């Protein structure tokens, strides 16, 4: 891995993912917002494939992606762009569904691209409607729960301390 | 992938007292009374937490009507930690593919 992924929970309702890329900002922006480029890297879990990718990347526009696995299972992500300022900022809603059933609650995603000479820093902030929703959706990444099951005893012991 | 049972697991784990109860039960089973003393909570308060943990499948309770000892159930916790690892791995794998794509786009752009 060339650049480390950073995952943090700065407030009770947020999760922040930060990652740098060795490319100019316009290219990173295009790779996220042009469907023909996005589908080449945002391909989902191993064995899955992005089968639908639509993105009207302007303020008020909608987007939708569908992933399928070889057994015919599908998962989708969709939402509405609240604010789009190429090539630096996008605020949009996002909800995941599988077989028509929502997975967790709708989130507000803010994507910011910062220029660092020839490099670009991507910051994605996912805002949930409550701490409970966040903790029920993607919890404890930085609090040690992401460690493997073999470390479970250790984690539980530190939670008790 | 997120499921209803994972929702219940994470919701149950979101409380520090319940995580502490699980840590105690990781050392061996215990009755409600044995849990009351170290946690300085009332018996109804402990019982309420135990109900949430039991409903999430994180603990099971013995049949002895008097004591009903609680023991930890490993499987839902294993599924929860597994899913979290998968979440991070998914983003890392996505971004590594994006690195490759960006290299290709840069090379194409720099061609005269």
Strands (E), chain A: 6-8, 14-21, 49-55, 62-68, 74-85, 89-98, 101-116, 119-127
Q: Is B47 left (phi over 0), alpha (psi -120 to 50) or beta?
A: alpha
Strand B59-61 relative to strand A119-127: parallel, antiparallel, unpaired? unpaired
* pLDDT band for position B26 (cuts 50, 70, 90): confident
Q: Which of A127, A139, A145, A105 is nearest to A13 (CA)?
A: A127
Fold classification of A6-160 is Alpha-D-Glucose-1,6-Bisphosphate; Chain A, domain 4 (3.30.530)
Across the interface, of B24, B81, B84, the residue whose CB is closest to A160 is B24
pLDDT digits (tens, 9 = 90+) for A114-144: 999 889 999 999 998 887 666 665 543 333 2
Which two structure tokens, joined as six digits, stand for A158?
């530190």
The answer to whether the CB atoms of B14 and A43 lie below 8 A apart is no
pLDDT (0 to 100) of residue A147: 30
Mean pLDDT of A84-92: 97
Which two structure tokens, joined as six digits, stand for B59?
């603990």
Nearest-neighbour CA in chain B from A12: distance (Å) = 11
pLDDT exceeding 90 applies to what percent of chain B?
23
The answer to whether the CB atoms of B14 and A131 lie below 8 A apart is yes
pLDDT higher at A82 or A148 = A82
Mean pLDDT of A17-38: 91
The answer to whether the CB atoms of B99 and A3 lie below 8 A apart is yes
Q: Is A99:A72 a contact under the CB 8 Å cutoff?
A: no
Nearest-neighbour CA in chain A from B68: distance (Å) = 23
pLDDT (0 to 100) of residue B2: 43
Who contacts A61 (Cβ-Cβ below 8 Å, separation ≥6)?
A55, A80, A81, A84
Q: Within chain B, what is the greatest distance between any pair of CA atoms?
A: 83
Contacts of A98 in chain B (CB under 8 A): 1
Architecture of domain B4-110: Orthogonal Bundle (1.10)
Nearest-neighbour CA in chain B from A69: distance (Å) = 13
Neighbours of A130 (CB within 10 A): 11
Q: Is A105:A85 a contact under the CB 8 Å cutoff?
A: no
The answer to whether the CB atoms of A141 and B10 lie below 8 A apart is no
Residue of B nearest to A8 (CA): B88
Which two structure tokens, joined as six digits, stand for B11?
């919701």
* pLDDT band for position B13 (cuts 50, 70, 90): confident
Classify the complex by whether its ipTM is higher than 0.90, answering yes or no.
Answer: no
The answer to whether the CB atoms of A141 and B16 lie below 8 A apart is no
* pLDDT band for position B29 (cuts 50, 70, 90): confident
pLDDT (0 to 100) of residue B15: 81
Spatial distance between the Cα atoms of A150 and B49, rounded to a whole number of angstroms: 25
Spatial distance between the Cα atoms of B18 and B50, rounded to a whole number of angstroms: 8
The answer to whether the CB atoms of B102 and A136 lie below 8 A apart is no
Burial class (CB in 10 A: 0-12, 13-18, 19+), B13: buried
Residue A93 has pLDDT above 80, yes or no: yes
The answer to whether the CB atoms of A104 and B7 lie below 8 A apart is yes
* pLDDT band for position A159 (cuts 50, 70, 90): very low
Contacts of A3 in chain B (CB under 8 A): 95, 99
pLDDT higher at A47 or B106 = B106
* pLDDT band for position B14 (cuts 50, 70, 90): confident
Hey, of B35, B102, B109, which one would you mutate to test binding to chain A, going by the most A CBs within 10 A of its CB?
B102
Q: Is B7:A104 a contact under the CB 8 Å cutoff?
A: yes
Q: Is A84:A60 a contact under the CB 8 Å cutoff?
A: no
Spatial distance between the Cα atoms of B18 and B24, rounded to a whole number of angstroms: 10
pLDDT digits (tens, 9 = 90+) for B44-90: 999 999 999 999 888 999 877 677 889 888 777 766 666 556 667 77
Mean pLDDT of A15-26: 89
Question: What residue ranges do the domains of chain A occupy?
Answer: 6-160
Tokens 């409903």, located at residue: B55
Contacts of A145 in chain B (CB under 8 A): 13, 80-81, 84
The answer to whether the CB atoms of A45 and B86 lie below 8 A apart is yes
Mean pLDDT of A80-106: 87
The answer to whether the CB atoms of B95 and A23 lie below 8 A apart is no
pLDDT (0 to 100) of residue B47: 92
What pairs with residue A15 in β-bridges?
A126
Strand A49-55 relative to strand A6-8: parallel, antiparallel, unpaired? unpaired
Cβ-defined contacts of A61-66 (< 8 Å, 24+): A63/A92, A65/A38, A65/A39
Q: What is the model's pTM?
A: 0.62
């Amino acid at each position: 891995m060339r650049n480390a992924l950073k995952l943090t929970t700065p407030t009770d309702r947020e999760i922040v993912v930060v990652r740098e890329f060795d490319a100019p900002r316009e290219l990173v922006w295009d790779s996220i917002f042009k469907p023909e480029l996005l589908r080449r890297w945002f391909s989902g879990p191993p064995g899955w494939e992005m089968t639908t990718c639509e993105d009207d990347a302007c303020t008020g526009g909608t987007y939708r992606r569908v992933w399928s696995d070889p057994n015919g299972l599908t998962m989708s992500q969709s939402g509405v762009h609240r604010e789009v300022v190429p090539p630096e900022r996008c605020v949009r809603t996002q909800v995941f569904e599988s077989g028509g059933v929502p997975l967790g609650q709708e989130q507000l995603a803010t994507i910011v691209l910062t220029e660092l000479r020839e490099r670009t820093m991507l910051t994605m902030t996912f805002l949930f409607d409550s701490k409970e929703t966040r903790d029920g959706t993607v919890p404890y990444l930085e609090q040690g729960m992401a460690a493997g099951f073999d470390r479970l005893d250790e984690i539980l012991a530190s939670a008790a301390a | 992938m997120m499921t209803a049972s994972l929702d219940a697991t994470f919701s149950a784990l979101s409380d520090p007292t319940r995580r502490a109860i699980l840590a105690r039960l990781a050392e061996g089973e215990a009755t409600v009374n044995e849990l009351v003393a170290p946690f300085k909570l009332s018996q109804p308060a402990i019982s309420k937490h135990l109900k949430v943990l039991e409903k999430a499948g994180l603990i099971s309770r013995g049949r002895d009507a008097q004591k009903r000892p609680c023991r930890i159930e490993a499987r839902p916790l294993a599924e929860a930690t597994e899913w979290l690892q998968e979440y991070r791995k998914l983003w890392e794998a996505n971004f590594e593919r994006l690195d490759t794509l960006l290299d290709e786009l840069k090379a194409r752009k720099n061609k005269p």
